[in-house]
Every structure is written in C-alpha cells, then in structure tokens.
Amino acid sequence: MVLPLWSDTQVFLDGDGGFSVTSGGETRIFKPISVQTMWAVLQELHRACEDAARGGHIPGGAALGWARGYAAALRSEQSCLNEWRAMADLESVRPASPPPLRPGAPELSEQTVRALLRDVMASADLESVTSKEVREELERRTGHSLAQHKDFIDNEMLLVLAQMDRPSRVFPHLYLGSEWNAANLEELQQNRVTHILNVAREIDNFFPALFTYMNVRVYDEETAQLLPHWNDTFLFLSRVRASGGRALVHCRMGLSRSAATVLAYAMKEFGWSLERALRHVRHCRPGAMPNPGFMRQLDFYQGILRASRHSTMWEPRAAEPQPQGDEGGAAPSPQSPEDGTVPGVLGSSPRPRISLCAVMRSISQLEPPEPPELPEEPLSEKVFAAAEAPAGSGGSPTAASPRARPSSRPRWVPRQCSLDGGPAPEDGGSAHGHAPTGR
C-alpha cells in the first residue's frame, strides 16, 4: 500500500483502535493491532501531516514524486488492496445500533468511563492488548454497551498514553519515567536532570557525555534479582540529593523495575514501610506496578531494614544531606489524581467524527500542576530538603550530544477532550500524565 501524505491530509479516529487517512482524494483504513502500536503510529502520522502542511506538498505536485515508483511496484492481489480502500462511511461513520439499556440502568457518565479506562490500561499489557479488548473490558465492568462510543474511548486512550509519556516527579530530586523520557534530551534539560539510573538490560545510555549514569542490567522477569543492587542505587540517589542534583530513574515503561528501585530507595531514605512508600509512589505515578517477584523482594527488603535499625552490624546509611534550597512541599506530579471535569453523560445521539488533529491540539502545553496531597500523614520537611541545582551548574546538560538519539516522536501533554472532540471547559481541570513503553 502506498499513500502519499499531501498538505490536505486528514486523519479521523474510527473506534476500536482504527483510523482513516484521506489524502489527495484517496482514503485508506487502518486497524492497529495493539494500543501501543496505535499510539506510536498516530504520533508518527501526525508529525508527517504537519511536515506536509509546512512544506506545501500540494496534491499531485512534484514534492512526493518519488512515491510513484513504489506505487508502480505494487504486486499485491486486488482483494488485498481492497482492504486498504474500504469506504470509510461503511465502516466508521454509521455507528452500530447498540442494544437498549436494561430498565432502570443508571446513566453512564464520561467521568466514570475515564476512571475505569485508566484502571484498565494501568493493568494491561499495552504491547499486546487491542483497543477492542479494552472496550470489551470496559463493557464488562460497566454493564453497558459502548459500541456507539468507540471513538470517544480511543480519544481517551490517546490522552492516557500521552500522560504516561511524561516522567513522574516522585521527590524534588527524583523523577520516575520510561525509555522515552530517558531518550528525550529536551525534556531532560527542561527538568534539570543531572543523573540517570537505568534499570533495564535492553536499553542503552543515550547521552553518556551529558549525564552521570548508573546501570542495573536486569530484565523485567519475576526471577530477576533487584535486591542485591538496592544498596548501590540508594547510595547513588543519596549522592544526587546531597549534591542538589536531580535524577531520572527509568526502565522501559517506568512501572516495574524502576518503580521497585524507587520504592526501595524511599523505604531506606525516609524509613517508610513498603505500604506507605507504595502509596506515595502510586499517588505520583498511578500505573506503578512492580511484578510479583519484585514485590516479594521489596517485602524481604522491608524486613532487612527493620532489623538493621536494631543492629549495629548493618552497614550505616549514607550521610544525611543538609537541607538546602527553597523546596518545602510535596513535588508536583505530572499526573493529577482525578481530572475534575464536570461529568457528562454518554448519550445516544450521533456525534461528529473525532479528528486526530483536534486530539493532538488538545495534547498541548500544560501549566504547572498543583502539588498533590498525600492520602495520609504528610511527609516530614526533611524529605523535601533537596537543594535545587542552578541551571547550567555542574553535571547539568547544556548542549546536545552527537550521540543523542533523535526523538522518534513529538511530545504532547494532554488536556481532557469532550465527546464532541473539542477541549473541556477551562475551569474543569486538566489531565496530566506520564510515559510509557514496556514494564
């Protein structure tokens, strides 16, 4: 299949992870195989459309003449080509008629669907689960048919995925994030990161000339052993805090290996129980979910720490850093606990198709969020006494490295979209988020 993307290209979400692309009078239908694939493809597609618009690629012009050679080389059977050329109005525009709701069933609100969707996606393997499977799980939990709202669900999934692309500021000196965050030089510089703790066997150090790295080379497997590394990672992160720097701790998705390592650090640095550390980390990064093997190691580590407080044989902790700087409260988390928008009701009337351009415009600049309130017992001031490193100070990245991996996709920060594809009212709150890619 060959489809040149001209300046008039339009992309519409069709529901269940599908979307249609119209360019130069031709339309193609796409059905990504997983949620993660849908997110990656739509980002690249949006970037290509913006490039075509900026470059003035007029339909039929010479700018994409090289694509004709590929089109001429097509040898696929016509039946296969027809799958790409299916009429969008037959597959997308006309919604299927849902069965009537059961008598007395309560109305289903947008806010309810959003909350359930976040929960489903936090526990799903985004590399393999499809949009349809996510919708079916939502239907199972709500007891309602959502076939008529497939495009709304896809739109909300994009917002959640965009939120997961942002690192979570767990403490003033510590961010928890993903491979994407570790490869995004602009974001690292903006967050004034000086050190990076890479807790992944399969991910390279992208900017070794610009940041101080530490590596824990393990896979996200229940049999992998993280516990032997936690004393070294604790010392590494303690030095970052003492020097007034900032660290990014990451694995592939920032949910399992790196989350477990941050939990271990918090337990030892602040004397927290595993339960309290888990509550705080999940408050800052709701999707954090170490695999069962790492949770068992954390429970064992908790016992070691408790015993060490009553034993002089345990290795002493790193020297406590002196409180500096002006940070005296909980670090703001990119993810707000709840979007706070006025709940709407999922109606049955036809709605306009959701344009990818409109969605991506809504995933735009985010104002600094309010600091999150901890569910219980506020943190002591010494937890947040890390000094702020001055911009451009030692160890801070100041220029792009020749080894810097170019960003494979643009960054967007989400705001809630209403059912008609437009932004939610200004006083309705905004969604802030994180980043993903493999636990």
Tens of pLDDT, residue by residue over 172-197, are 999 999 888 998 898 899 999 999 99
Residue 96, pLDDT score: 41
Check pLDDT > 70 for residue 85: no
Confidence band for 366, pLDDT divided at 50, 70 and 90: very low
Given this model, what pLDDT does residue 78 score?
61
Q: Residue 193 has which token pair?
A: 């990161």
Mean pLDDT, residues 140-166 taken together:
78
Q: Which residue has better confidence, 238 or 56? A: 238
What is the pLDDT, as a whole number, of residue 402?
41
Q: Cα separation of 412 and 434, whole Å?
A: 11
Q: Where in the chain are the domains?
A: 10-93, 168-335+372-384
> Phi and psi dihedrals of 18, rounded to 5?
-90, 160
pLDDT above 80 (res 239): yes
Q: What is the pLDDT of residue 398?
A: 40
The active-site residue, picked from 49, 80, 251, 357, is 251
Helix and strand totals (H; E) in the chain: 14, 9
SS3 20: strand
Q: Is the pLDDT of residue 234 over 80?
A: yes
Q: Using an 8 Å Cβ cutoff, are 234 and 264 in contact?
A: yes
3-class state of residue 85 by DSSP: coil
Instruction: Give every strand in the sheet of 18-23, ordered side by side.
Output: 26-30, 18-23, 10-15, 354-355
3 state SS of 169: strand
| Ranges 70-84, 127-141, 269-283, 411-425: which has the least confidence | 411-425
Q: Given strand 212-215, what is the order of strands in its sheet? A: 168-171, 174-177, 247-250, 195-198, 212-215
Indicate if 417 belongs to the active site.
no
Residue 156 has pLDDT above 70, yes or no: yes
The answer to whether the CB of 189 falls within 8 A of the CB of 391 is no
Mean pLDDT value across residues 338-363: 57
Q: Which of these, 296, 295, 273, 255, lies nearest to 170 by C-alpha position?
A: 255
Burial 375-386 (b: 16+ CB within 10 A, else e): eeeeeeeebbbb
Architecture field, domain 168-335+372-384: Alpha-Beta Complex (3.90)
Q: How far apart are CA 280 and CA 254, in angstroms?
A: 15
The residue with greater pLDDT, 336 or 141, is 141
